[in-house]
Every structure is written in C-alpha cells, then in structure tokens.
Amino acid sequence: MPCTYIVSGGASRLGAAVVRRLHSAGHNIVVGDLDEGAALALSEELGERCFGAACDVGEDLHLEQLVRVARDRFEGLDGIVNNAVTYIDNGIFSSREEWHRAFNVNVFGGARLVAEAVPLLARSLNPAVVNVASIAAKMAQKGRALYPVAKAAIMHLTRMQAVELAEHKIRVNSVSPAWTWSRPIEQASGGDRQHADEVGATLHPLGRIADAEEVADAVVFLLSPQASFITGTDLGVDGGHAILGPDAGIPRQGALAKPPSDD
C-alpha cells in the first residue's frame, strides 16, 4: 500500500537517496528543503508523487505547511525523516546566536515537525519517525561543539518521542551514519572519492566510507513494517566505527616494546 513520508533536507545527496528509495517503492514524498531550487528539481524529476517545497525547519509555519501538503495532497502521513542539518559550528567558542541557530535547525526543527504531525501520523497503520543523528553524538572532537551536541540531543529526543508517542503506535528511531559520501565529505576531499575512502579506511573497519544509499536503506528499514517492534533505538550505519577503541583497530602493542638497552 502506498504511504506518504515527509523528508526534511530531502534535496541533499543523503536526503535525496532516502526520497528516491521511498519513491521507487511506490510511496508519496513531501520534500522540505532550504534549497528551494534543489527541492523543486527533485520533485520535477520524480513526478507527481513527489512534492518539493522551500522550507526552513527553524520556522513553525514552514513545518505546518509540510504537514498540510501531506494531508491535503496525499490524504495522510505515515512517516517523517528528520534529515535537515546546519553544520554551522565554532566549537565551544560559538556565540549564543550560533547555538540558537544550530539547535533551532538541528534539534527543534525535528521536534516541532513531529509534534505538529502527531494527529495525522496517529491515523496511519505503521507510523514511524527516523531522526538522522551521527557518530558525532558520542565522540568528542576538537574544534566542534554545536553539531555533535545537537546530534547527542537528537538521540535523547528520539527516546523521549518514542516513549511519549508509543500510545499512538508511532515508532521513533534514529540512525547514526559515519562518514558518508555527500556534500560535506565531497567538499572536504575535493571531490576525490578514492581519497575519501583511503582516509576513511582508518576510521571504519569495513575499509571505506558509506554511500548515501546505504544510509537510506537503514532509514527505509526503520520506517517499514519489518521494523514493527523497534522503537527508541539508534541504528549505526558506520562500517564498524563505533566498535573501535583507542587503537583504531590497528595492533599497537608492538609500540610498547622498548628498544633493548646497551647494558
């Protein structure tokens, strides 16, 4: 049966991979993205089951519009993917304004969108929310604060939403990708995928970075009836990154051996 999903930030490579997976399975999608041109281009490409709209998830009126489109155009709503993100970050020295903007987009946007959509989601046979978190939620990094702290908040928000919305049978989970081939990694590597994979190999036991489609597959699974008894959890899509200890998976005991002394 065709379902209807809202995907925020759905015009990005990663968001669009989710949109394409859902669309090719026959579902309707409402794409809300700050990048209006990219959202409209995607909906034009996919056709009438995909509606692209300019949306700032930091604005309640925009979120209300996404829910209204799902209701009026597709007659219901079965799931939400909170994928939109701002990478604005000046580390622990970020200004109050920067903290507000980062949290307004990365945390409050998804929180408010879900709250707005509860009455409509509650009518679905398999209502589900997937919040896109990150491996950054659990690891400290120098030079950053807003993004990792917001992602940590998203993980706990996921648990709070899951327990609160269980009475409506709405399941809420998060996914935590590690390095994924999308705009930020593409930019940082100068568009060199092989180089990104080589650097990423030291961080991911599977020896490369992720494709956006691999993250999308995890999101689609969590939205599906196959995940019907899964709620409040975080699914790592990280090539094994989270299981690494301080040696990054490389045997280093040898480095402890002291050179034999001359005496």
For ligand NAD, the binding residue among 6, 42, 84, 114 (CB under 6 A) is 84
Smallest CA-to-CA distance from 105 within 129, 89, 127 is with 89
Q: DSSP of 63-98, one letter per residue?
A: HHHHHHHHHHHHS---EEEE--------GGG--HHH
Taking CB under 6 A as the rule, does residue 34 contact ligand NAD? yes
Stretch touching ligand NAD by CB under 6 A, among 42-50, 52-60, 66-74, 223-231: 52-60
The length of the chain is: 263
Catalytic-role residue among 74, 103, 108, 147:
147
Please report, to the nearest 10 degrees, the dihedral formed by the alpha carbons of residues 121, 123, 235, 89 taken in order.
0
Taking CB under 6 A as the rule, does residue 57 contact ligand NAD? yes
Taking CB under 6 A as the rule, does residue 85 contact ligand NAD? yes
Please report, to the nearest 10 degrees, the dihedral formed by the alpha carbons of residues 152, 14, 23, 25 taken in order.
-80
For ligand NAD, the binding residue among 184, 232, 240, 249 (CB under 6 A) is 184
Smallest CA-to-CA distance from 92 within 158, 140, 28 is with 140
| Both structure tokens of 130 | 């997937």
Which of residues 95 and 187 has its CB atom nearest to ligand NAD in the complex? 187
For ligand NAD, the binding residue among 105, 113, 121, 219 (CB under 6 A) is 105
Which of residues 45 and 75 has its CB atom nearest to ligand NAD in the complex? 45
Taking CB under 6 A as the rule, does residue 205 contact ligand NAD? no
* 147 is known as an active-site residue: yes
Taking CB under 6 A as the rule, does residue 161 contact ligand NAD? no
Tell me the C-alpha distance between 241 and 178, whole Å: 7
Taking CB under 6 A as the rule, does residue 33 contact ligand NAD? yes
Pairing relation of β-strands 234-237 and 171-177?
parallel
| Residues in 132-151 that interact with ligand NAD by CB under 6 A | 132, 134
Residues forming the site for ligand NAD (CB under 6 A): 8-9, 11-15, 32-35, 55-58, 83-86, 105, 132, 134, 177, 179-180, 182-185
What residues are labeled active site?
Answer: 147
